[in-house]
Chains A and B, each alone.
Chain A
């Protein structure tokens, strides 16, 4: 197997592992916050339903955590195994957040262990709730730190090259790179948003399946309110991400938007298909849209792909991913808004089967947007691993057994994926809420 093939299979394996890990990681970042909110409300209102909500979410959560840990360990090792040249450089400059991430993991793992096994050990419920704080902080900070590494890959800084040697390394400067603020904020907001929609999906699904229990209605309303807040946040921060790109990675933005010629007052293309290289068809054109998105000014100049050499332009299919992400993002924000306003104004149609099915779809759709978003930004960085410094093709391993490992890991993820779905389904089916509420009443 030649080196080109090593590069190819290393990419596929990285894509596979990350795309799989991100599902569990997103849930892992967001759910602790949701559990915290539910338990907190439960304690404040002395409402058994919210406490039970927290308890049941936790039970599902530990399963996704376990798979998240397993796949995270895989990607952590794979980064060194598949991209040794990149990691050698990364070790010199951006190892600090990776290292701090392990402390976040420690923190999360320790307190999750304690939290799980101490549900009924404290007289004062608030003490038990307090144990969840480090879990939620630890989980969110894993996301913060790893996203900082990823931001660094987009805008590397904090070091100098002199005669092939790295000098003047400043780890803090490397961490505080220009891509960091928007990226970290967007990743966190979308993780919370996605987790809220996933929990909302479950609530809506239960209601559709005949259970008319107050418990599910409370769960649905709570999660939809949270989802609304974070989907608005995600859209606003997403807009800032666009402005960041216009300034620091104009080729990436231009590729997202199929913006070929540098021009003032650029219009924004939505949807459409690309034919014969650079002919856009069937797109919806919004005059001045791109200039507003990029610079907040309808007449601003937006740099196009004509300013960049052919071999530094990312694949143009990422426009479809961008459309997918933004469409889902806008759609879900509207969905949550309608629902929340509908509850406040006591509309009936939000309780209709059709509307509930829409909510059921929201969780999977949000996860799809997460996948689209990561593919978008990672493919949009190509051909670079470290933008402007190290090409993906130069960073890969020279080992020629990557293809076999790809098969091995694909099998593993298949088993883990199927296993977690089966277990989660059984867990909630064999132990319906009504039953559990009754059991708890009797225990009193």
Chain B
């Protein structure tokens, strides 16, 4: 394996980590707001708060890791994406700030106001939408390199069906991932009302999630034929992903083994996410940037990989401890402590 591949694999892995943990967080915020709206707050809020409060800061670090890491491994991305993304990324920051301050002000600071709850719930939908734009842009065709610098063609971006399909995919996946996870969590807590409600949400959102995912592959055919061809070549992976999807839905529908269902779901997204990533190879930004011509200096690459391994050895036991105390601890989950 070359350093380039190691670098992008590490980053992609952490981005995947972010997609899963953040989806749970975003979706939970949305369901929470929705339950306040429909006066079902008593069913959901407790479960959601209990899981989310100890881990929200960790979720954010996954994102920070990704954007700091990508500049380290592929510094040219700072130039291309940094220039092009000023507005979309700034908007995402503001939305992330709204979420962070929700925790600060309501959970810790007991400043309760339904306005914040709604804002918080909605920000959970807008953040994936605004972050997913980066994926759209990476497909090429929206960024132009002019003598005066890099510019992003907003008109083209916002009128492209590809943009909107990716946005819709991000929303449906967020709600689907979150609902499946929370079903499991509520079930562990022995909260049947919440389990039933969340299970219903999981089933409802599974269908649009899979339809939009398929839709994007079709969309790609006209937008970026080269990428489309590479996606098609990887069909066995997408096949596996689809089978995992079916298993999750089956288990949830049959009210069986919610834990296994969630693991299947992670597997489904993992396979699809990496298949997509592989098909994108070697481009970071069509057609300007590949992982090879944007790579960092060799000395830095070695240093980053060593630092990564060392950091990872610290990180895994700590994360395990966190999960053991808050996710797999029966007393905590059931609210006895």
Residues of A within 8 A of B (CB): 59, 62-63, 65-67, 69-74, 76-78, 80-85, 87-93, 95-96, 98-103, 105-107, 109-114, 116-118, 120-121, 134, 159, 166-172, 397-399, 401-402, 404-405, 408-409, 412, 415-416, 419-420, 422-424, 426-427
A173, chain B: closest CB distance, angstroms: 9
Please report the C-alpha to C-alpha distance between residue A91 and residue B315 in the assembled complex, in whole angstroms. 23
- Given A62-B104, A73-B96, A107-B318, also A92-B303 (CB < 8 A): no
Docked CA distance A96–B304 (Å): 6
Distance of B112 from chain A, by nearest CB (Å): 11
8 interchain pairs, CB-CB under 8 A = A80-B81, A91-B78, A95-B72, A114-B325, A171-B303, A399-B149, A423-B105, A424-B109
Chain B 252-281 per-residue mask, 1 if CB under 8 angstroms from chain A, else 0: 000000000000000000000000000000
Contact across chains for B110 and A73 when beta carbons are under 8 A apart: no
Which residues of chain A are within 8 angstroms of B90 by Cβ–Cβ distance?
A: 77-78, 81, 405, 408-409
**Extra contacts besides A77-B90, A84-B78, A103-B307 (20): CB < 8 Å:** A59-B108, A63-B105, A66-B103, A66-B104, A67-B101, A69-B100, A81-B90, A84-B79, A88-B79, A92-B300, A102-B61, A106-B58, A109-B58, A110-B58, A110-B322, A113-B326, A398-B149, A398-B150, A419-B105, A423-B109
Q: Which of A96, A399, A422 is within 8 Å of B300, CB to CB?
A: A96
Is B314 among interface residues, defined by CB-CB distance under 8 A? yes
Q: What's the Cα separation between A99 and B310 when bound, in Å? A: 12
Question: Given A80-B78, A118-B325, A419-B105, A65 and B57 touching (CB < 8 A)?
Answer: yes
Question: Is A96 in contact with B109, judged by CB distance below 8 angstroms?
Answer: no
Shortest Cβ distance from residue B86 to the other chain A in the assembled complex, whole angstroms: 4
Interface residues of B in 268-314 (CB under 8 A from A): 296-300, 303-304, 307-308, 311, 314
Interface residue ranges of B32-70 to A (CB < 8 Å): 53-55, 57-58, 60-61, 63-65, 67-69
Binary A-proximity of B131-171 (CB < 8 A = 1, otherwise 0): 00000000000000000111100000000000000000000
* A419, B101: Cα distance in complex, Å: 8
Contact at A95–B71, with CB atoms within 8 Å? yes
Q: Among the interface residues A63, A83, A415, A426, which one has the most CB atoms of the partner chain B within 10 A?
A: A63
CA distance A427 to B87 in the complex (A): 36
Q: How far is the CA of A91 from the CA of B100 in the complex (A)?
A: 28
Total number of B residues with any Cβ neighbor in A under 8 Å: 69
- Chain A contacts for B93, CB-based, 8 A: 73-74, 77-78
Query: In the complex, A134→B108 CA distance in Å?
Result: 21
Residues of B within 8 A of A166 (CB): 297
Instruction: Please measure, in the bound complex, the distance between the C-alpha atom of A116 and the C-alpha atom of B52, giving whole angstroms.
Output: 13
Which of B104, B108, B325, B332 has most chain A Cβ within 10 Å? B104
Is B229 part of the contact surface with A, judged by Cβ < 8 Å? no
**Which one of B64, B304, B314 lies within 8 Å of A76 (CB-CB)?**
B64
Residues A102 and B69 in contact in the complex (CB < 8 Å), given A69-B100, A117-B326, A398-B149: yes
A82 to B111, CA, bound (A): 34
Residue of B nearest to A117 (CB): B54
The answer to whether A422 and B315 touch across the interface, beta carbons within 8 angstroms, is no
B85 at interface, CB cutoff 8 A: yes
Indicate whether A102 sits within 8 Å of B65 (C-beta atoms), given known contacts A70-B101, A73-B96, A172-B303: yes
**CA distance in complex: A104, B109 (Å):** 25
Residues of A within 8 A of B308 (CB): 99
Give the docked Cα–Cα distance between A436 and B82 (Å). Answer: 49
A402 lies within 8 A of B86 (CB): yes
Contact B318 A397 (CB under 8 A): no
Q: What residues of chain A lie closer than 8 Å to B311, measured between beta carbons?
A: 100, 102-103, 106
Query: Chain A's nearest CB lies how many Å from the CB of B44?
Result: 20
Interchain nearest-CB distance for A81 vs B (Å): 5
Instruction: Report whether A87 and B86 are in contact in the complex, using a CB–CB cutoff of 8 Å.
Output: no
B243 part of interface (Cβ distance < 8 Å): no
Query: Chain B contacts of A70 at CB under 8 A?
Result: 96-97, 100-101
Give the docked Cα–Cα distance between A402 and B337 (Å): 48
Quote the shortest CB–CB distance from B144 to chain A (angstroms). Answer: 12
Q: Is the CB of A106 within 8 A of B296?
A: no
- Whether B189 sits at the interface, judged by CB under 8 Å, is no
Partner of B75, one of A88, A107, A110: A88
**Interface contact B105-A102, CB-CB below 8 Å:** no
Measured CA separation A15–B207 after assembly (Å): 47
Question: Are B318 and A110 in touch, CB under 8 angstroms?
Answer: yes
Alpha-carbon separation in the docked complex, A73 to B63 (Å): 9
**How many angstroms between the C-alpha atoms of A61 and B54 in the bound complex?**
15
Instruction: Give CA–CA (A109, B315) in the complex, Å.
Output: 11
Closest Cβ–Cβ distance, residue B233 to chain A (whole Å): 32
Q: Which of A66, A84, A90 contacts B108 (CB 8 A)?
A: A66
B94 A117 Cβ-Cβ under 8 A: no
Distance from B294 Cβ to chain A, minimum over Cβ atoms (Å):
9
Q: Report yes or no: A96 in contact with B303, Cβ–Cβ below 8 A.
A: yes
A111 partner residues in chain B, CB cutoff 8 A: 318
Considering the chains assembled together, what is the distance between the CA atoms of A405 and B82 in angstroms? 14
Given known A-B contacts A88-B78, A134-B318, A63 and B108 have beta carbons under 8 A apart: yes
Q: Is B181 an interface residue (CB 8 A)?
A: no
Q: Is B114 an interface residue (CB 8 A)?
A: no
CA gap between A419 and B304 in the complex, in Å: 38
Nearest Cβ on chain B to A262's Cβ, whole angstroms: 38
When the two chains form their complex, are residues A102 and B68 in contact, meaning their CB atoms are under 8 A apart?
A: yes
Interface: B230 (CB within 8 A)? no
User: Which residue in chain A gives the minimum CB-CB distance to B14?
Assistant: A102
- A91 in contact with B55 given A67-B100, A398-B148 (CB within 8 Å): no
Max count, chain B CB within 10 A of own CB: residue among A95, A134, A401, A404: A95
CB atoms of B64 and A102 under 8 A apart: yes
Q: Give, as a whole number of angstroms, the nearest-CB distance from A260 to chain B.
A: 39
User: When the two chains form their complex, are residues A112 and B304 in contact, meaning their CB atoms are under 8 A apart?
Assistant: no
* Closest CB in chain A relative to B283 CB, distance in Å: 18
Closest B residue to A65 by beta carbon equals B57
B53→A117 contact, CB < 8 A? yes
Q: Is the CB of A91 within 8 A of B318?
A: no
B89 at the interface (CB under 8 A from A): yes
Q: How far is it, in angstroms, between the C-alpha of A85 and the C-alpha of B82 when the chains are bound?
A: 9
Instruction: Identify B110's interface contact among A98, A99, A397, A427, CB under 8 A.
Output: A427
B108 x A103 contact (CB < 8 A): no
Query: Which residues of B sit under 8 angstroms from A167, Cβ to Cβ?
Result: 297
Q: How far is the CA of A172 from the CA of B97 in the complex (A)?
A: 34
B71 touches A96 (CB 8 A): no
Complex-state Cα separation, A155 to B79, whole angstroms: 23
